[in-house]
Amino acid sequence: MSSAIQAENLSYAYNGTGVLDNLCFQIPKASFSILIGPNGSGKTTLMKILAGILKSKGRLSLFNRHAAQISRKEYARQIAFVPQHLPADFPFTVQEVILMGRSPHLGILGIGKKNDSDIAEKVMQITDVTHLGRRRLNKLSGGELQRVFIARALCQEPEIILLDEPTAFLDLAHQIQVMDLLEKLKQDQNLTIIMVSHDINLAAMYGDQLLLMKNGTLLDMGKPEKVLDVKTLEDVYGCVLLINKSPLGDFPVTTPVPGRYLKHF
């Protein structure tokens, strides 16, 4: 399978303090990869490196081309990033913000193409934000805002989409709706998806591969049933867990055990 991203010895430090240490991995094209790991393990920092926002040590390649040789505009056409903290104080409407996703595709003099608004309309439908089109960003709920930024990223028509905890503010129905949508885009349009999630059960249901991080290192990666090993996860997260097979299919369901049940373990 051809690779969308190849990372060789990626390391990063904030003001001399190392937070990522020699990460090596490969993300196959048209796959759904989910980064998991405790708070502060380096997931967001890694996403910012992949998004081209932070420059790391080591070598990063996109579709077998060294990232340093790709222009900013081309990089933006290939990779869209939905950050963890979304800006709500833009003085723009939902529709305007989503259309901004077309900016890496603008021609000379910043002139848009005729089909830009058709693309925006389509992504607004599939992310269920059409009814919010004329609303201002600062008048939206957390979940609505999250769907608007996912729509903007899709409007970019990227080959790779990076999402940092995109389901954090979504109710159950919208969580599944967003995850199903991403899975469909992977299957129908060969989109490569890399997501950060603290929801290990969503990760197990949708991830083709999970990347488990701890203290800035990549502890394990592979299929959910391999990575979600009870001993490893209890050690990484420092809590007692129950891991069972899902009644839905061949993937695990993880339950953290509340203190009052610990005497049974």
Ligand X SMILES: Nc1ncnc2c1ncn2[C@@H]1O[C@H](COP(=O)(O)OP(=O)(O)OP(=O)(O)O)[C@@H](O)[C@H]1O
The yes or no reply on residue 39 touching ligand X (CB under 6 A) is: yes
Based on the shown chain and the rule CB under 6 A, indicate whether residue 56 belongs to the binding site for ligand X: no
Q: State both tokens at 243.
A: 């891991």
Region near ligand X per CB under 6 A, out of 35-43, 49-57, 226-234, 238-246: 35-43
Q: What's the min distance (Å) between Cβ of 68 and ligand X?
A: 22
DSSP β-ladder status, 192-196 and 32-36: parallel
166 binds ligand X, rule: CB under 6 A = no
Among 6, 31, 33, 41, binds ligand X (CB under 6 A): 41
Q: Are strands 3-14 and 160-164 parallel, antiparallel or unpaired?
A: unpaired
Residue 14 interacts with ligand X (CB under 6 A)? yes
Contact criterion met (CB below 8 Å) for 27 and 162:
no
Going across the sheet that includes 192-196, the strands are: 79-82, 160-164, 192-196, 32-36, 209-214, 217-222
Residues 6+ apart with CB under 8 A from 93: 133, 134, 135, 136, 137
Please say which residue, 40 or 112, places its beta carbon nearer to ligand X. Answer: 40
- Shortest spacing between CB 123 and ligand X, in angstroms: 26
Interacting residue with ligand X among 9, 24, 40, 87 (CB under 6 A): 40
Residues that bind ligand X (CB under 6 A): 14, 19, 37, 39-45
